[in-house]
Structures are given as C-alpha cells and as structure tokens.
C-alpha cells in the first residue's frame, strides 16, 4: 500500500519516494509505469465499449 501511495506522489508531484535506495526507486517507477498502462488500457477499452453500445442503441 505504501508503494502505491509513493507512486501517486511520484506521478503527480514528481517527488521521489522518501526511501533513497536506487532499488526501491526503480521498482517503484516500474510499478507506476505498469499501473499507468493498466489505467490507460481500462479507459481505452471502456471508451470503445461505450461507443459500440451507443452505436448499437442508435441502430
């Protein structure tokens, strides 16, 4: 949970995590990147589903 919290801080405010070890920084950034990709994919898929639903309703 703490890694997710620092992830949001890292993404939003560009502040490195309080732990200054390179290992934690790299894994945290990698985790953030994966989380970011998943969120973008979810938004993309949901938009496609909404658009197809609207098309079906119109037709």
Mean pLDDT of 15-35: 61
- Separation of CA 43 from chain center: 10
Mean pLDDT of 15-41: 66
Report how many domains make up the chain. Answer: 1
User: Token pair for residue 46?
Assistant: 């949901």
Tell me which DSSP letter residue 18 carries: S
C-alpha 32/C-alpha 42 separation (Å) is 15
Statement: residue 32 has pLDDT above 50: yes
Q: Residue 18's pLDDT band (boundaries 50, 70, 90)?
A: low
Q: Residue 21's pLDDT band (boundaries 50, 70, 90)?
A: low
Statement: residue 14 has pLDDT above 50: no
- Residues spanned by the domain of 18: 2-58
Higher pLDDT, 41 or 57: 41
């Amino acid at each position: 949970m703490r890694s997710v919290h620092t992830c949001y801080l890292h993404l939003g405010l560009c502040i490195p995590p309080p732990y200054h070890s390179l290992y934690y920084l790299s894994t945290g950034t990698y985790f953030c990147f994966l989380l970011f990709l998943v969120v973008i994919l979810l938004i993309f898929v949901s938009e496609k589903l909404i658009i197809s639903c609207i098309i079906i309703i119109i037709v």
